[in-house]
């Protein structure tokens, strides 16, 4: 039997007033990947065989999933990451900055360091992935060494467990930034409770049900959420097709919301969309049930598309869903989502970009603007890895 969880220190509220005039709504740091997603496979690949896929999409992945999800909901978003000077890296930079409106002033591009690549195979609502890449030439802490003004930050707790220095988001928390944390999958099976020690500096914790149950040594998502609520103001446990559970430890409020029934096509990035949506609702001071309900909808809309970051819904997608739902006469959905009438933007939002199979170089690197041999015009600064 696994040992009982050792409780992290009680939550300590960050300094007040530090984010009243913050430049950004959300700050993120992490690795960007170039994702190639295959869908509608004719079979399951096995040794010595070739399988064709009817669908293919190219998209920025990794931390870009979360950045795009936040930006498409209207949150001013800053991303600190490292980009290669190859075509993949330049394409990801341009798409994120120019098309998705994400601030990359804290990101850097390095010469002779290629972009990490992930090939994702989506089938039966889930996915398998193969990734190749190299260690980043600079850490997220170095990219954000002088701090950044943001109302919230989203981070992963497990990333800091091996660091000797204080991570960037802990410094931000001390200056009033509200930290929304999740936790990575533990492929060792240890589920070491020490990973949760930084919860005392977090505002919200959003694990999935397996992670929550394993780390707390409990028997159900609800029991896990209650155990975690003793150490962080806000806990949300996502439960896939069973919806989500939220507990506000300050008020004692417990909320459980169902998932929105959809046909799942590709689950890549669904958790990131949920997290970004929950941050939006929090910044707008929505009730807990409304935040969870909205986040469940946004993640459901995302899994109907393929392509990770570019599957994230915009306000136009949400408005289309609400219009179709009202027309369908589904009384339960109409009742649960009636608040959308008050939060949808007054002006109709345009369509967001979806993943395409590939891209033409001339569309993204026209002569005299971006070149493959060096930066021109608005291209980011090249740097060389140290050492």
Burial grade of 142 (CB within 10 A; 0-12, 13-18, 19 or more): middle
14 occurs within a structural domain: no
Cβ contacts of 331-336, under 8 Å, gap ≥ 24: 333/260, 336/257, 336/293
The answer to whether residue 1 is domain-embedded is no
User: Each residue of 175-234: pLDDT tens digit?
Assistant: 999 999 999 888 889 999 999 999 999 999 999 999 999 999 999 999 999 999 999 999
pLDDT at 16: 41
Mean pLDDT within 57-84: 95
How many CB atoms lie under 10 A from the CB of residue 123? 16
Question: Which are the contacts of 346, defined by CB distance < 8 A and separation ≥ 6?
Answer: none
Does 290 score more than 90 pLDDT?
yes
Asked whether 355 and 306 are in contact (CB, 8 A), the reply is yes
pLDDT at 337 over 80: yes
Give the per-residue pLDDT at 40: 84
In 53-137 the beta strands, taken as DSSP E runs, fall at 53-62, 77-80, 82-84, 108-110, 116-123, 126-132
What's the CATH code of the domain at 104? 3.40.1190.20
The answer to whether position 12 is within a domain reads: no
Is the pLDDT score of 328 beyond 60? yes
Residue 16 contacts residue 67 (beta carbons within 8 Å)? no
Element (H, E) at 34: strand 32-41
CA distance 348 to 314: 11
* Per-residue pLDDT at 325 exceeds 60: yes
Task: For Cα atoms 58, 301, 358, give the angle at the middle one, nearest 5 degrees.
Answer: 10
Global pTM reads 0.86
What distance in Å separates the CA atoms of residue 67 and residue 26, rounded to the nearest whole number? 9
If you ran DSSP here, which 8-state letter would residue 254 be given? E
Question: Is 228 a domain residue?
Answer: yes
Q: Is 355 part of any domain?
A: no
SS3 236: strand
Distance CA 52, CA 144 (A): 43
- Structural domain contains residue 175: yes
Instruction: Give a yes or no: residue 178 inside a domain.
Output: yes
Instruction: Check residue 8 and report its DSSP letter.
Output: P
In a domain, 30, yes or no: yes
Counting the structural domains of the chain, the total is: 1
The CA distance from 147 to 105, in Å, is: 12
Write the Ramachandran bin of 52: left for phi over 0, alpha for psi from -120 to 50, otherwise beta. beta
Interval 33-58 mean pLDDT: 89
Tell me the residue range of the domain where 104 lies: 24-44+52-313
């Amino acid at each position: 039997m696994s040992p009982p969880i050792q409780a992290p220190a009680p939550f300590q509220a960050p300094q007040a007033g530090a984010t009243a005039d913050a430049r950004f709504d959300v700050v993120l740091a992490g690795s960007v990947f170039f994702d190639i997603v295959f869908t509608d496979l004719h079979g399951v690949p096995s040794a010595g065989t070739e399988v064709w896929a009817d669908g293919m999409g190219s998209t920025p992945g990794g931390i870009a999933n979360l950045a795009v999800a936040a930006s498409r909901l209207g949150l001013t978003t800053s991303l600190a990451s490292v980009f290669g000077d190859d075509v993949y890296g330049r394409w990801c930079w341009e798409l994120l900055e120019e098309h998705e409106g994400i601030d990359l002033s804290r990101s850097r591009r390095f010469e002779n360091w290629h972009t990490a690549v992930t090939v994702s195979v989506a089938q039966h609502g889930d996915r398998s992935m193969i990734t190749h890449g190299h260690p980043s030439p600079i850490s997220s802490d170095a990219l954000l060494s002088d701090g950044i003004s943001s109302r919230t930050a989203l981070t992963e707790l497990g990333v800091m467990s091996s660091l000797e220095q204080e991570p960037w988001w802990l410094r931000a928390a001390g200056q009033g930034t509200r930290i929304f944390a999740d936790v990575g999958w533990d492929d060792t099976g240890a589920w070491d409770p020490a990973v949760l020690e930084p919860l005392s500096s977090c505002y919200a914790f959003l694990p999935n049900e397996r992670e929550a149950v394993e780390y707390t040594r409990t028997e159900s998502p609800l029991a896990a959420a209650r155990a975690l609520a003793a150490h962080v103001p806000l806990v949300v446990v996502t439960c896939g097709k069973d919806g989500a559970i939220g507990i506000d430890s300050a008020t004692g409020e417990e909320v459980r919301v169902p998932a929105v029934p959809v046909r799942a096509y590709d689950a890549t990035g669904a958790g990131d969309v949920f997290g970004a949506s929950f941050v939006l609702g929090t910044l707008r001071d929505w009730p807990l049930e409304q935040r969870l309900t909205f986040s469940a909808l946004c993640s459901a809309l995302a899994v109907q598309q393929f392509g990770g970051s570019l599957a994230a819904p915009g306000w136009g997608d949400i408005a289309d869903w609400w219009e179709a739902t009202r027309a369908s006469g589904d009384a339960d959905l109409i009742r649960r989502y009636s608040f959308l009438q008050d939060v949808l933007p007054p002006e109709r939002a345009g369509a967001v970009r979806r993943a395409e199979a590939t891209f033409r170089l001339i569309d993204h690197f026209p002569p005299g603007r971006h070149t493959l041999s060096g930066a021109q015009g608005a291209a980011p600064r090249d740097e060389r890895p140290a050492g």
